[in-house]
Amino acid sequence: MTSTDIDAARLTLALNELRLPAIKALWPRFAEQADKEGWRAARLLNALVEHELAERDRRRIERHLAQARLLPGKTLDSFDFNAVPTLSKAHINAITAGDSWIGNGNNILLFGPPGVGKSHLSSAIGLALVENGYRVLFTRTTDLVQKLQQARRDLVLEAAIAKLDKYHLLILDDIAYVTKDQAETSVLFELISARYERRSMLITANQPFGAWDTIFPDPAMTLAAVDRIVHHATIFEMNVESYRRKAAVKAKGPGRPPKQASAADFNPD
């Protein structure tokens, strides 16, 4: 074994110990190129460090995407903004930068009837935010509420809610499907209160605030929950015809024209 081999072996062990896998993989090739081209030591070191940082960013995003549980294939590029003229694509794209509202614990609310793309859009926003370095969790509200109920039964509700603090954005999909049950709505209210002005939420709902008395058991809790959610919130209304309905009608062929969605359909009040 040559002295070069011994040095290389020692360097590999050191890089393993320092947890620098990109530099460990790349340094022989970069060192050879540096010798041939007469790089200064600082240039070689800078090139190796830049690749290590880029690899760490890639692995972090990959890890955060796995944790986010986003809907597969739902991106902003695949969302049909033409079908929802009430939405500004430029505004949505600006939101994905995250810094101005997530840093302040602000919220986003997406309202509209079923089938207009609320889940798609919320997941796509979450994906863009993860790619920009934020931690996101997408969940059906009913699923999360059930987990929090179990945490309460196990006497660890406070800890379970605290664990959600690691997510800069919590996406609660279909909040209106939570049943008007004291146990369910109580843990949901505690979650909303715990994140108020601290951590952001993106909430989708197929009912306006006036119908949220079907979620919370009494008017006082409804008012308190809505007050915390809308304070420092951006609200988007997607009150258009369901694209799933339009697709079904198109597949069915000519016939009786579909009933158009109206404001009355969206707001029963």
155 backbone dihedrals φ, ψ, rounded to 5°: 65, 35
**Are 122 and 227 within one domain?**
yes
| Residue 32: predicted pLDDT | 86
Q: Mean pLDDT, the chain, as a whole number? A: 85
Residues 85 and 182 in one domain: yes
Residues 192 and 86 in one domain: yes
| pLDDT digits 0-9 by tens, 206-249 | 988 888 877 887 888 889 999 999 999 999 999 887 655 555 55
* Residue 267, pLDDT above cutoff 50: no
Range of the domain at 148: 70-266
| Last residue in a domain, options 39, 66, 93 | 66
What is the C-alpha to C-alpha distance for residues 15 and 19, in angstroms, rounded to an integer?
A: 6
Same domain, 129 and 95: yes
Mean pLDDT calculated for residue range 37-51:
90
Residues whose CB is less than 8 angstroms from the CB of residue 113 and which lie 6 or more positions away in sequence, other chains included: 206, 239, 242, 261, 265, 266
Question: Is residue 53 within 8 Å of 78, Cβ to Cβ?
Answer: no
From the list 205, 210, 215, 219, the residue with the least C-alpha distance to 107 is 205
Q: Are residues 37 and 136 in the same domain?
A: no
For residue 269, pLDDT beyond 70: no
- Give the integer Cα–Cα distance in Å for 245 and 113: 11
Indicate if 118 and 36 belong to the same structural domain.
Answer: no
Same domain, 74 and 109: yes
Cβ–Cβ < 8 Å for 83, 117? yes
Domain final position from 46, 66, 86: 66
The angle at the Cα of 129, spanning 127 to 130, to the nearest 5 degrees, equals: 65
What is the total count of domains within the chain?
Answer: 2
Residue 34 has pLDDT above 50, yes or no: yes
- 28 and 152 inside one domain: no
Q: 108 and 216: one domain?
A: yes
Q: Are residues 161 and 34 in the same domain?
A: no
| Reported pTM | 0.77
Domain boundary among 44, 66, 88: 66
My answer on whether 254 and 212 are in the same domain is: yes
pLDDT digits (tens, 9 = 90+) for 146-205: 999 999 999 999 999 999 999 999 999 999 888 767 677 889 999 999 999 999 999 999
pLDDT for residue 248: 53
**Based on the domain organization, do 57 and 76 belong to the same domain?**
no
